[in-house]
Amino acid sequence: MTTVAIVYHSGYGHTEALAKAVAEGVKRGGATANIIKLESAAQDFTAALDAVSAADAVIFGSPTYMGDVSVPLRAFFEASSKVWFTQGWKDKLAAGFTVGATFGGNKDHTLTSMIVLSMQHGMLWSGPGVPNAQINRNSDAGANVPNRIGSALGVVTQADNAAADVTPPEGDREFARLHGERIAKLAAKLEA
C-alpha cells in the first residue's frame, strides 16, 4: 500500500492540527499516513529519516518562525545529508505545509526552504493544485474556504493567537486535507 510520511514540528499545536488534517486527506486518497512529530533539534533523527526513506512520499510541516522553518525541522534537514550521500530520497514525491500568525508573514519562504531541501535530494515537489479562493474582500467567508491566502507552492494557512482546536479555521484544515489527498493519489500513480 502507498505510504505517505508526514514529518512536522509544532511548538504550540497549530502545525500539529494541520498535520492531522493532512493525514486525514492522505487516508481519503487511499494511502497510509505515517505521522512523525519532531520534538527538538537535539533529538536522534534516525527513526524519522528511516520512515521517510521507507515512504513513497513525504509531506513536511512547520510553523513559520521568523520567516522560516522552525529549528527542529531545520536540524532534521541537516541530518538528512546522511541520506543525500546515497541519494536515497531521489525521485520521491515531496510537499509541504506551514502556518503563521499573519496573512503574509514570509510563509512562502518557509515553503521555499522545504522546496530547496527537496530539490537537493532530487525529489519531486508538488504544490496543492487548489486554485486560490475567490473571496470578496469585504466578506468573512475566507475562513471556510480552502486556499484563502492564495498559495501555489504548498499549504499556507493562518492561525490566530488562540488554542489549536479553534484556529486555523476549517477552510485551512480542508486545504490541508486536499493536499494530503492529492499527494496520496500522485504517489500511487508514481508507484504504478
Smallest distance from the beta carbon of 156 to ligand FMN, in angstroms? Answer: 10
Stretch that binds ligand FMN, among 57-65, 78-86, 118-126, 142-150 (CB under 6 A): 57-65
Which CB atom, from 107 or from 121, has the smaller least distance to ligand FMN?
Answer: 107
Among 54, 91, 101, 166, binds ligand FMN (CB under 6 A): 101
Alpha helix (H) residue ranges in 35-169: 46-54, 71-79, 81-84, 107-120
Q: With contact defined as beta carbons under 8 Å apart, do 10 and 37 qualify?
A: yes
Stretch that binds ligand FMN, among 29-37, 62-70, 81-89, 171-179 (CB under 6 A): 62-70
Among 81, 102, 120, 132, binds ligand FMN (CB under 6 A): 102
**Cell digits for 131?**
486554485
Among 26, 33, 94, 99, binds ligand FMN (CB under 6 A): 99
CA distance 14 to 5: 19
For residue 162, CA distances in Å to 14, 53, 76, 77, 173 come to 9, 35, 28, 29, 16
Q: Does 151 bind ligand FMN (CB under 6 A)?
A: no
Residues between 65 and 84 with contacts to ligand FMN, criterion CB under 6 A: 65-67
Residues in contact with ligand FMN, shown as a per-residue x/- string from 112 to 131 under the rule CB under 6 A: --------------------
Among 105, 142, 146, 154, binds ligand FMN (CB under 6 A): 105
Among 12, 54, 131, 132, binds ligand FMN (CB under 6 A): 12
| Of residues 3, 22, 9, 11, the one with CA closest to residue 173 | 22
Q: Does 10 bind ligand FMN (CB under 6 A)?
A: yes
Smallest distance from the beta carbon of 123 to ligand FMN, in angstroms? Answer: 23
Burial class, 144, CB count within 10 angstroms (exposed 0-12 / middle 13-18 / buried 19+): middle
Which residues lie closer than 8 Å to 153 by C-beta, 6 or more apart? 96, 108, 111, 112, 115, 127
Residue-level length of the chain? 192
Give the residues lining the site for ligand FMN (CB under 6 A): 10-15, 63-67, 99-102, 105-107, 159
